[in-house]
């Protein structure tokens, strides 16, 4: 069965509850869907050495990529904010890495009220991004 956006939203909200964020108390959950209909989740993981904090989106992306799933089609970010918030700059750069010709990544941002999602896409949230092409690399040719 094809995983639905509704399921992705539910899983991102569940992942948010697993956030390890004793310093900011700002919970973030993420879920993502890959082209082969697999779902991965992540939450923010903070550290007493603040600079080591990792965002929910990058946790989820690293989980998918490390399992061999790089064809990401949708990412959901869930926070407890009144208005949905979109991924931070570092996460946007990580997301654009996995957008390629013919595959943009749909981004769905969810706040407290799940019924009012906001939508964007990888190529929209980071204009003038630094991308593999800038290094004369085509990841699709370079790597399986």
Is 44 a known ligand-binding residue? yes
Candidate segments 7-15, 18-26, 94-102, 112-120, binder of ligand THU by CB under 6 A: 18-26
| Helix extents (H) in the chain | 5-17, 56-66, 89-97, 122-125, 139-142
- Are 44 and 59 in contact by the 8 Å Cβ rule? The answer is yes
Beta-sheet pairing, 106-110 with 72-79: parallel
Site string for ligand THU, 61-90 (x = CB under 6 A): --------------------------xx--
Contact (Cβ atoms closer than 8 angstroms) between residue 5 and residue 108: yes
Residue 1 beta carbon to ligand THU: minimum distance, rounded to whole angstroms: 29
Concerning whether 57 is annotated as a catalytic residue, the answer is yes
Query: How far is Cα 117 from Cα 119, in angstroms, rounded to an integer?
Result: 7
Scanning 49-57, 94-102, 106-114, 122-130 for contacts with ligand THU by CB under 6 A, the matching segment is 49-57
Would you count residue 28 as binding ligand THU (CB under 6 A)?
A: yes
Instruction: List b or e across 86-116, with b for residues whose CB sees 16 or more CB atoms inside 10 angstroms.
Output: bbeeebbbbbbbbbbeeebbbbbbbbeeeee
Tokens 């009144």 appear where?
Answer: 82
Site for ligand THU in 95-124 (CB under 6 A): none
Q: Summarize as ranges the residues that interact with ligand THU (CB under 6 A).
A: 21, 24, 26, 28, 44, 46, 53, 55-57, 87-88, 91
Please state the residue numbers annotated as binding site: 44-50, 55, 88, 91
Which residues are identified as catalytic?
A: 57
Please state the residue numbers annotated as binding site for Zn(2+): 55, 88, 91
């Amino acid at each position: 069965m094809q995983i639905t956006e509704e399921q992705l939203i539910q899983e991102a909200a569940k992942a948010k509850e697993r956030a390890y964020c004793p310093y900011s108390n700002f919970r973030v959950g993420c879920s993502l869907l890959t082209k082969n209909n697999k779902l991965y989740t992540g939450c923010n993981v903070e550290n007493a050495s603040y600079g080591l904090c990792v965002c929910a989106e990058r946790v989820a992306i690293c989980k998918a990529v490390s399992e061999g799933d790089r064809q990401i089609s949708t990412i959901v970010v869930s926070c407890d904010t009144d208005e949905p918030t979109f991924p931070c700059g570092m996460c946007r750069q990580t997301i654009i890495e996995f957008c390629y010709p013919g595959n943009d990544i749909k981004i769905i941002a969810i706040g407290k009220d799940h019924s009012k999602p906001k939508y964007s896409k990888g190529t929209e949230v980071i204009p003038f991004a630094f991308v593999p092409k800038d290094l004369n690399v085509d990841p699709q040719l370079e790597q399986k």
